[in-house]
Structure 1
């Protein structure tokens, strides 16, 4: 079940979506889902419902919603969000903290909140790991600069990469090194045969065949295994 609402943040209201499992009893752990650079697509919403159906209250803020309907406004908003990701602070970070606070204030949330993100959103899942979340699940997350500093005080992390990802060479090794340096509990895996966006069922239009060759495509077997790992990890760290 999904509903659109206005999320109150330090920068004003923004569009967000709330997902519940079809049937549930009692308060549930919460999860914030962060979309990729394409935006909060129907595919991301399907993923949010998949997470909710595992027994979570899910919030997905649209980080690009402040750009309005114009192309120029959207582009400016995208650039600002990426700037905040690189800086590890700013309005986008505040927006994700507001999404977490929204869950914490709900009677149907237990008070344990995880975060999931894809590509750009995966980068934010790493950036937010030390900021009060209880578990973080970046999928092919953009590894931020100053990774060692960024993960100081991080919550447990379950991360997934694709071996054929042209954007994140050595992503697993860099992340594991930083997590181990801080003593963070982790489950990090790189899947052979798939690349970037392997859990996203996205249609890139005429560019789809070329992008598949270069490592941008859905991989059902790897995606299913990655989600099993994430849900097992969340069951452990988000249970109260």
Structure 2
């Protein structure tokens, strides 16, 4: 797999969400002739949901599947590249546009407006049901639902915990800096700390000690809840990392923590059986 910095592109043609601009010089774009990626649509609850997928061009048999859950910025270039990186490892990776009913993140240049007008209106129940349909789509397009994992970032990290308690077919999950506690509402009736006892699949949580939005107290509370539930889960906290430390296109990127987290994610998938036959 070859990666290169995304330099020389102007804002607006980079494929990154406007609310996440400008992109940093550390931005990674993956190029690999052995992978195939592109847009698709997935029928879910009577509607066609846009999605991005990536997979190896040549594969023997059904591929292990990784559902990739977006940040608040939607399925922009960084999330598409996460799919390409996973495809280079031998996975069928699929990232659905989970806000598609509520709005388009690419229409917002202000993070607060994006959160208020789109993200806050997305119900958890809708997201979990849509991800079930993504899994079914993967099974019909060369993926093996019996060999399925999920990973997500920020907003998507929280969803990873919830989905691991929702789908009994899931074999592993890796949550990157997803919120663990919060106020409950009709759209968000439960948070990860509330479903620790209900996990169906092993979950690895990757967090930053300098994350101002996810205090270490909430991470410790989640650890205690997981321990009390005797859940198969682990939480790693990187001392020098803040929020979004894997977001190489943002100033928050912490390369050492991101690289270690990526290897831990792959090892977690492999440990629980979600791995290409060649690995």
Quickly name the TM-score band, shorter chain normalised: 0.7 to 0.9
Q: 1:166 aligns with which of 207, 212, 220?
A: 212
Residue 77 of structure 1: CA displacement?
3.4
Aligned to 2:48: 13
Distance in 1 between residues matched to 2:73 and 2:114, nearest whole Å? 15
Distance in 2 between residues matched to 1:120 and 1:157, nearest whole Å? 16
SS state at 2:246 partner = coil
Aligned to 1:175: 222
Mapped pair 1:236 → 2:277: no
Aligned to 2:12: none
TM-score (norm 1): 0.83
Residue 187 of structure 1: CA displacement?
2.6
Residue 34 of structure 1: CA displacement?
0.5
Distance 1:75 1:106, change over 3 A: same
**C-alpha deviations, 1:36-90, integer Å up to 9, x for none?**
1122120111111112211211110011233257669996432222xx24xxx2x
TM-score (norm 2): 0.72
Aligned to 1:206: none
Distance in 2 between residues matched to 1:21 and 1:107, nearest whole Å? 11
Query: What root-mean-square deviation, in Å, do the aligned CA atoms of Structure 1 and Structure 2 show?
Result: 2.3
Residue 134 of structure 1: CA displacement?
1.4
Structure 1 regions of 5+ residues with no counterpart? 204-211
Q: 1:200 aligns with which of 247, 250, 256?
A: 247
Aligned to 2:15: none
Distance in 2 between residues matched to 1:105 and 1:75, nearest whole Å? 36
**C-alpha deviations, 1:81-124, integer Å up to 9, x for none?**
2xx24xxx2x2221122112222344442522111011100010
Distance in 1 between residues matched to 2:153 and 2:92, nearest whole Å? 19
Distance in 1 between residues matched to 2:114 and 2:193, nearest whole Å? 34
Query: Is the 1:127–1:144 Cα contact (8 Å) retained in structure 2?
Result: no
Query: Is the 1:2–1:19 Cα contact (8 Å) retained in structure 2?
Result: yes
Larger CA deviation: 46-55 vs 65-74: 65-74
Residue 13 of structure 1: CA displacement?
1.0
Structure 1: 4+ residue segments shifted above 6 A: none
Distance 1:147 1:58, change over 3 A: closer
Structure (1 or 2) with the greater helix fraction: 1
Mapped pair 1:77 → 2:118: yes
Distance 1:161 1:63, change over 3 A: same
Structure 2 regions of 5+ residues with no counterpart? 1-35, 183-190
Mapped pair 1:55 → 2:87: no
Distance in 1 between residues matched to 2:47 and 2:114, nearest whole Å? 16
Query: Is the 1:19–1:59 Cα contact (8 Å) retained in structure 2?
Result: yes
Distance in 1 between residues matched to 2:215 and 2:195, nearest whole Å? 19
Query: Is the 2:136–2:145 Cα contact (8 Å) retained in structure 1?
Result: no
Q: 1:150 aligns with which of 195, 200, 212?
A: 195
| Larger gyration radius, structure 1 or structure 2 | 2
